[in-house]
Structure 1
Amino acid sequence: MDGYLSMVIVCLIAVQIQVICVQIPDECQSCGCCAYRNNNKCDNNGYCYNGCQDGYWGDRCYNKCKYANCLRCARINGNTCEECKTGYYGYNCGSLCGTNCNTCDKWSGCTECNAIYYGSRCEYYCGNNCASCDKRVGCTACDTGYYGPSCMCDANCVHCDNLKGCTGCKLGYYSNKGVCYECVYKTNGCTCSNSHNCIGCIEGYFKESYLCSPCPYNCTSCTTSTQCTSCTDGRFGNICQYKCQGNCIHGSCVSMQAFCQCKRGYTGYKCDHCMSGYYGFGCTQCSLGCSDTCHQHDGFCTCKYGWAGDRCDTCADKYFGNMCNRKCNSNCEACTAEYNCSLCIPGRYGDYCQFKCGKGCKHNKCDFKSGYCHCKNDNFITGYCHDCKSGQYGQTCEQTCLQTYSGYHKLQNM
């Protein structure tokens, strides 16, 4: 009997020691892992009234659930997981739901995939061109312009319908029941509407008789064997025979259209000479005063009325204006406006030649601005040469007055 009691006492001491040695996690001190409700968490002995927070179990809720991916386990047994963390499923929450899974059930795994994925773990991609993706079977409807289980057009298809398949094929292929097939004469550059006809040519060929022939070398498209419509980069000409560098003299090379785009005034395949209406080394435009075109070497031409000069680039006497079509006033020899003269006719002076030169001006000419002139003889008063000196009279002051005691008197004709 004493031996039995000793054994019981030892066992109780062992149990007591085991309880004392359990380490409570820091976050669970003072009932920290108890569920909180109505301001009550636990009693004085640490018993949690409302159960445990997620991830813990036991009366005092300081035991962690056994499995790392378990969100909530049974309170009486940490080995039984009731709910998995997001992204996991299975008895011990050890299986991944999949990165493309939208909703995941603990027992059955992924129940709904993100919009464009399917499969038990949403591991398969429906494709960019899928309009409707089912989790179990994949794509059930394609976007407009695509067809098939992967919603892709045929490799040789340029346009397809989600119901009819391919409706337009690449050049050199034809469509039959939604599939593109190669033309028999594709190697001859033909396009076709059925297997054996040739209705047109692919790029780099031109239609000749019933089939197509290749364009000249360096020619990327053409209409005949001697007329290219586009060249390889860096070339131009009717058969792409010229290199742009060094041959497109006064222009910009446009290989895509097989020609040299000339600068203003230039013409020719190489833009190396002047077009009609231009002249000289720099292909200067002929003057507006030319009645027709000008000589391409020096620009000389026949003038329109009102123009003057070898190149007809100035106004003729008595004309002014941008087009030399306005006349100066009648007293002007040259002008910049009707009443702004730069040269008067003989015998006139002033800004618009409104004054007469003195009657004694030599050769009937006087200064354009002041009216001063050289006198015909010494009988005129210098300056304007209009009045006679004292003792002289007559149109040219050539006659001398009779001198008497009372002054000068004109001599009477006998």
Structure 2
Amino acid sequence: MTGRTCNIPKQQYFTASLDFLLYEAEYANRSPNCQVVIREPYRDNRQDSWTGVGFMKAPEGSSIEFDIDDIKTTALYDPVVRYEPLQNLDWDDAEMRIIRMKPIDATSLCSETRPEDDIKPFSLPMEKRSIVVGPAICLEAGEKYKIIIDFKKSQYNQDTPTASVLIDSIVLLPRADSIPWFSGSSPAEQKRREYQDNCEYALYSLNSQNVPEMCQKYYTSIGAYIFNGAQSCQCDPTGSISKLCKEYGGICTCKQNVVGRRCDSCSPGTYGFGPEGCKGCDCDSIGALDNFCNVTTGQCKCRANTYGRECNQCRTGFWNFPNCQRCDCNGHADICDSKSGTCISCRDYTESYACDRCIDGFYGDPRLNADIPCRPCPCPGIAGTNHSFADTCTLDPTRDVVCHCKEGYAGARCDVCVDNYFGNPEVPGGSCRPCECNDKIDLLRPGNCDPHTGKCKQCLYETTGDHCERCRGGYFRNSPDEMCRECVCHVLGTNNTAGPCDPESGKCSCFPHVIGQECDQCEDYYWKIASGSGCEPCNCDPVGSVDLQCHRFYGQCKCKENFGGRQCNECKANYWGNPKANQCTSKFIPKVYNCIFLFLPFRV
């Protein structure tokens, strides 16, 4: 303390308020049927009607036990109970008991206290918010005590199981009778009366209004006496704005949402004590039990099946906040989407919204009421091998497996090839391939190729071969890209017994000595294609013919002058001689003919 009259605390010190000996009911020991009720500070700047974090709800037959271990001055103290009623009736039957850990010092102020003085019946009027339990208690400095309040009956001689009351705290107020300067002289007695009449009552209730200015000097002096001088502010460096506190009461200036005389804790409904103060819990009004959360983590108290720091989502395994319901995943997943209910990470080869369908490549009925596990599709081998020819399969109403075969496969197990495909899919390593017919088949017709060998059986566009790769007999094409054209072969010059025309060039098979693409003419020096068996040699006589080539159809050779005959191996008409010796002449020997003229008569 400092000042001329030692009535001012030094900087960073304070004089304790007279209700400094305050013990919160919510932190006290209590019977199992009591319940802590936490209150969130008003958000409309109203003064709170409680201290600490709230109240202790005490029903009939309950008790609250307070530990007292901070008495610094032996004196008489008025125990004040601060409360809020929960019913429109007085609480008639309550009792306060003081338990002393040691016998009373025979030389102290408390030596005349009797055991019965430590048992104090009292009641709680419904129209009040605090009550002084008398007579005063004499407490010795440095000793430990227990103050126990028993809440017997709300109404005398009547059980009211639903009755309860909210207890905020008890306060030990030093009585003026124990203050030295309030006794021993008439002026002192006058001061005591002035204090009791004008100042003492204001300490009973939490939010006293219109306290006279003269009371402050009394409060400061009495506080310094009862608590042995000034106390250190000890403002929390994290939660307070400065190290200074109020000179009376020692209340530090707190950061946002920080409370406590020293600004060392978050106010109810906030968490995360730190340099910026505390953050609001913001607990979900539906999913959380209240708006109070863990002061460190901010975790709100969630209702059944809700989850999250703010209790604004369903807990694992549930969905549809706020009407959280268990995920319906047929036992094949543990979690689902919190909004849609779609199961997440289905197990046992299942999928879909409720894990009620086998994944592609598996079959079964994984629903709980069917419980047929998903197994690999046998089509005919299982998925993941080179012998599976279906991506999916299902169970039919008779619970037989039906494979949904890939293109080219058929059969209940996809072990046969469909029309226009061939292979041996029933054998491991086998497969079905499209018929290799060079696009020379009608895919709408069945049986275009052998289902095992792939040999084409219904070639179109005048083609033939195992793969319709060539023209059939009597047809040809010059390149694979062309259509087959019918061969044009001369009927007399073509030897049909020698086979069809060449399938690539279209060249016909000619009789001997017949030539041409179509076998339509004789070789040089040959003729008589009309014979139907080939051309014959001209055999033109080298002596009598101009050259050896004869007419290709008539066989007539070109004869020299005076020569004749087809082969020019004769003298021509009216010529004679030896044609082999090139001697054909036309020497004419005139002959004499005797003529007889007959004259016949003429008649008119």
TM-score by length of 1: 0.38
Find the structure with the greater CA-based Rg. Answer: 2
Structure of higher RCO (CA pairs closer than 8 Å, 6+ residues apart) = 2
